[in-house]
Every structure is written in structure tokens, then in C-alpha cells.
């Protein structure tokens, strides 16, 4: 088989798989079903959505971090779906398998896209769980759309209440980090993703750490699947968005989980600050935990989420 023939065959199979996903309308069975589909955002951007678990189970909706996709939540989603929960996660616009629009790569649009998913699937009494950038997305969703569909919310290593330094937030991450990320994204984003994953994200740069090549490769693969423009714009969205006012509108039970050795989002200015702003929020700190606790501390995180959601 020639290289051209193999390429043609692979393309045909890929397009066929896409068509099957978008046209599938089979009703879920009583057993825990696994389905994938696309939902259109208000501007027509297709959003890839995972919808796992029994359709009549309590609903948990996950929002992922940068530059990842809904795949980054697979451990938590499978764990909860196997215990009777309906778990939903979408790839953010410009990320994963979702559309790659030129415009709209900002936090307000991210929040509205999350709203489009909740509305399209008519999800109610939802527990929203946001990691990193996804935590900001969840906060902004509540700020813009309220909690009519929301029962609980969890912020996991979130960028809230604000990541970057500003005149009103001098304790934030220095602007030089923002400039460096954008320059690296334009210069060689493939290397940027490898450097982030092999270094501070999972804490593999700490003395005595045992790097996992699998986790590094997974981070890199998810990042490279995303749009260069979308992920570049997203740096501004996650670094400079201010969520102080959004967090004040959270009026449902809230859980904040953060690692004490998060090198990207220091716990004092993010996790602890978020817990202070959200009335009645419970704060759980993972001693020595890095930023990527969804993987490095997945077993503990799964149990903490299960306990919080099940109360």
C-alpha cells in the first residue's frame, strides 16, 4: 500500500468517524452508556462533548485547563461514572476536537460556551468542577448566568480569583511570566508544552521527583491537538481575567482544592484567596501537591470529589 493510499484511507476513516458521532441519536441504555457528540456554540463553533454514565444519574460537569482537552479529566470522569454519576465535559473552543475559530477565545465566550452545553443537554442540579483555566470558566459562567442550573461547584487548582499581576492585584504572578508564555507560544509552542509538562506542571522539576513520560506525552499531545491561535489567545484569558466579582456571586456549596507546591498558581494567592471570597467554601490543601493534581493526586481527588458531590 502506497503512502498516498494509506493517507487517503486514514482520512476516510476519520471523516466517517466524525459523521457517525454527529449523526448518532441512539437512546441510552439502562447500563452506563458512553456517547460523544458535538454541540454548537452561539456563533456556530462546534464543541466536542463527552457524556458518560447513566442518563438518570446526578450530573457532574467538568471544565479543563490550558492547553488541554476533556481527556485530562478521564480519571475523574470514569471514576464517577462507574459510581452512578452522569459526567459531562467539553473541549473548549480552540482546544481538543472542538472547532478552531479565529475570534471568541476569551473568558466570557468560554463561559457562554459552557452555558450552551448545559442548555443543549438540559442539565440541571449540576455540580460544576473546574481545573486551572476551567476554574475561571466556571466562575465566569456563574457570574454571567447565575446558579439556576447549578447545585454545587468545585475549584481545583483554579486560576481564581486572578492569576496575573495588575494595579489592583499586585500579589499576582509577574507580568514577565505572561510575556514569556506568549513569546514561547509564538516561537515554539511544541517545546513550550514539553517544558511545562516536564517541569512545573506535575512538579517533575523538584528534587527527588520521578517524571512520568506518559503524563508528559499526554500533556504534549493534547496541547498540539489544540489551535495555535486559540491557545495563544487563551494565555491572555487565563492570565489577565479578574474573577473577584464572579466569585462573590457563588451562592451554592463550594469546594476549593489546591496543592501547596503549585508553582504555576501559588496557593496563597489563588486557592486560599478563592476560599475567602466564596461564602462558606471548604478549602482542602494537598501538602506538596503540584499544579497537575488531577493526575498526580488523582486517587485522593476522586475521593474528595465523590464525598463533596454525594453530600
Catalytic residue among 90, 95, 291, 297: 291
Q: Which three cell numbers stand for residue 305?
A: 470529589
Residue 247: inside a domain, yes or no? yes
Exposure class string for 191-218: b at 16+ Cβ within 10 A, else e: ebbbbbbbbbbbbbeeeeeeeeeebbeb
302 found inside a domain = yes
Residue numbers of the domain that contains 85: 32-310
Let me know if 246 is a catalytic residue: no
State residue 11's pLDDT score: 37
SS (H, E, C) 104-128: CCCHHHHHHHHHHHHHHCCCCCEEE
Residue 210 belongs to some domain of the structure: yes
What are 68-120's pLDDT values in tens digits?
999 999 999 999 999 999 999 999 999 999 999 999 999 999 999 999 999 99
The arithmetic mean of pLDDT across residues 160-164, rounded, is 98
Cα(139)–Cα(250) distance, integer angstroms: 8
In the predicted structure, residue 13 carries a pLDDT above the cut 50: no
pLDDT digits (tens, 9 = 90+) for 200-259: 999 999 999 999 999 999 999 999 999 999 999 999 999 999 999 999 999 999 999 999
Q: Has 63 been annotated as catalytic?
A: no
Domain count, the chain: 1
How many other CB atoms sit within 10 Å of the CB of residue 167?
Answer: 5
* CATH code of residue 119: 3.40.50.1820
What pairs with residue 36 in β-bridges? 50
Report the Cα–Cα distance between both ends of the chain, in Å, rounded: 58
Q: H or E segment at 141?
A: helix 133-145
Choice among 132, 227, 234, 241 that is catalytic: 132
Does 69 fall in a domain? yes
Q: How confident is the model at residue 300 (pLDDT cuts 50, 70, 90)?
A: very high
Taking the C-alpha atoms of residue 64 and residue 96, their distance in angstroms, rounded to an integer, is 10
Q: Are 216 and 190 in contact (CB under 8 A)?
A: no
User: How much is the pTM?
Assistant: 0.88
Residue 98 within any structural domain of the chain: yes
Residue 5 lies in a domain: no
- Residue 22 within a domain: no
Place of cell 466562575: 139
Look up 258 and say whether it is catalytic: no
Helical spans, DSSP H, in 160-252:
175-196, 213-225, 228-240, 244-247
Summarize pLDDT for 23-68 with one digit per residue, the tens. Answer: 444 444 433 333 459 999 999 999 999 999 999 999 999 999 999 9
13 inside domain: no
Catalytic residue among 51, 262, 295, 304: 262
Amino acid at each position: 500500500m502506497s503512502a498516498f493510499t494509506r493517507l487517503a484511507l486514514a482520512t476516510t476513516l476519520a471523516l466517517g468517524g466524525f459523521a457517525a458521532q454527529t449523526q448518532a441519536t441512539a437512546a441510552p441504555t439502562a447500563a452506563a452508556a458512553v456517547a460523544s457528540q458535538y454541540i454548537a456554540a452561539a456563533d456556530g463553533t462546534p464543541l466536542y462533548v463527552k457524556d458518560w454514565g447513566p442518563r438518570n444519574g446526578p450530573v457532574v460537569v467538568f471544565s479543563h485547563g490550558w492547553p488541554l482537552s476533556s481527556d485530562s479529566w478521564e480519571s475523574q470522569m470514569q471514576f464517577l461514572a462507574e459510581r452512578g454519576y452522569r459526567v459531562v465535559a467539553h473541549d473548549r473552543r480552540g482546544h481538543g476536537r472542538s472547532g478552531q475559530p479565529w475570534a471568541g477565545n476569551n473568558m466570557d465566550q468560554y463561559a457562554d460556551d459552557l452555558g450552551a452545553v448545559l442548555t443543549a443537554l438540559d442539565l440541571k442540579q449540576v455540580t460544576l468542577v473546574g481545573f486551572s483555566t476551567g476554574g475561571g470558566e466556571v466562575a465566569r459562567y456563574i457570574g454571567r448566568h447565575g446558579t439556576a442550573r447549578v447545585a454545587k461547584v468545585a475549584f481545583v487548582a483554579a486560576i481564581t480569583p486572578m492569576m496575573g499581576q495588575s494595579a489592583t492585584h499586585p500579589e499576582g504572578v509577574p507580568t514577565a511570566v505572561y510575556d514569556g508564555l506568549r513569546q514561547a507560544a509564538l516561537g515554539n509552542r511544541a517545546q513550550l508544552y514539553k517544558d511545562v509538562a516536564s517541569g512545573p506542571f506535575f512538579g517533575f522539576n523538584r528534587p527527588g521527583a520521578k517524571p512520568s513520560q506518559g503524563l508528559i506525552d499526554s500533556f504534549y499531545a493534547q496541547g498540539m491537538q489544540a489551535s495555535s491561535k486559540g491557545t495563544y489567545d487563551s494565555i491572555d484569558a487565563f492570565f489577565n481575567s479578574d474573577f473577584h466579582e464572579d466569585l462573590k456571586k457563588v451562592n451554592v456549596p463550594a469546594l476549593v482544592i489546591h496543592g501547596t507546591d503549585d508553582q504555576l498558581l501559588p496557593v496563597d494567592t489563588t486557592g486560599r484567596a478563592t476560599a475567602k471570597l466564596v461564602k462558606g467554601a471548604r478549602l482542602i490543601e494537598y501538602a506538596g501537591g503540584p499544579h497537575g493534581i488531577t493526575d498526580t493526586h488523582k486517587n485522593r481527588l476522586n475521593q474528595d470529589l465523590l464525598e463533596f458531590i454525594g453530600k
